[in-house]
Amino acid sequence: MRSRTKFSILLIVFFGILLSYLLLITLFPSCWIIHLCGLSQSVIVNCLFLMFSSLLVAWLFSEFIDFCYKKALEIRWRRSKLGKIFVSEGYVTEEDLREALREQNLRVGEVLVRAGRITAEQLEHALNHQRKVPGKLGEILKDLAYSTDEDIDWALNNTGKRLGEILVRNDAISRYDLNSSLALQRYGPKWSQKAWEGKITIH
């Protein structure tokens, strides 16, 4: 929570307490709460006590609100998907994220087509063959002489990759951006403070 917001809450609560007290004096002059501020015969001492106690309560309340706000933020970030963090932190655009998600869900044949190692027609032929003779697509592509063992191994290594790794490989984000986002997802907004204190390491 920003210092200005925190200070505003403190002032609102402080003046709210004072106004409430004045209202009580007007409406319920014999209320027991009023007698608590009549500890001394001096009006000045009583006013100072009222001001100090009101300020203390307002400060405790603002600290409590700040604590709840930070915890809520941590829960929110920990539940956030990594892709949303990338976008919210300004590391990637929505289009970059959609493209990476599409790439993440590609299958072996689609990866080979996108890389230009086989044609779309060859993939379609292999898929039709797979429907007639069940088997792994990679093996069918090799049997049809459309792909080599090297091609299939390369495609397998490029499927099922994590979103962050795909974005790094595509130069959409840096390795540091990825690690920072992972730290934010795991530790919440205080990750930079933890890194500064040496509790976590970001490369």
Task: Assess whether pLDDT exceeds 70 at residue 157.
Answer: yes
44 found inside a domain = yes
57 and 132 co-located in one domain: no
DSSP for the chain, please give it. Answer: --HHHHHHHHHHHHHHHHHHHHHHHHH-TT-HHHHHT--SS-HHHHHHHHHHHHHHHHHHHHHHHHHHHHHHHHHHHHHS-HHHHHHHTTSS-HHHHHHHHHHHT--HHHHHHHTTSS-HHHHHHHHHHHHHS-S-HHHHHHHTTS--HHHHHHHHHTSS--HHHHHHHTTSS-HHHHHHHHHHHHHGGGHHHHHHTTSS---
Question: pLDDT digit string (tens) for 36-73?
Answer: 555 556 667 777 777 888 888 888 988 888 887 766 65
90 and 189 co-located in one domain: yes
For residue 199, what pLDDT is reported? 55
- Owning domain of residue 188: 82-196
73 and 28 co-located in one domain: yes
119 and 95 co-located in one domain: yes
Question: pLDDT digit string (tens) for 92-119?
Answer: 888 888 888 777 767 888 888 988 999 9
95 and 32 co-located in one domain: no
Question: pLDDT digit string (tens) for 169-202?
Answer: 878 888 888 888 878 777 766 656 555 555 556 5
136 and 52 co-located in one domain: no
For residue 17, what pLDDT is reported? 83
Our count of domains for the chain comes to 2
203 found inside a domain = no
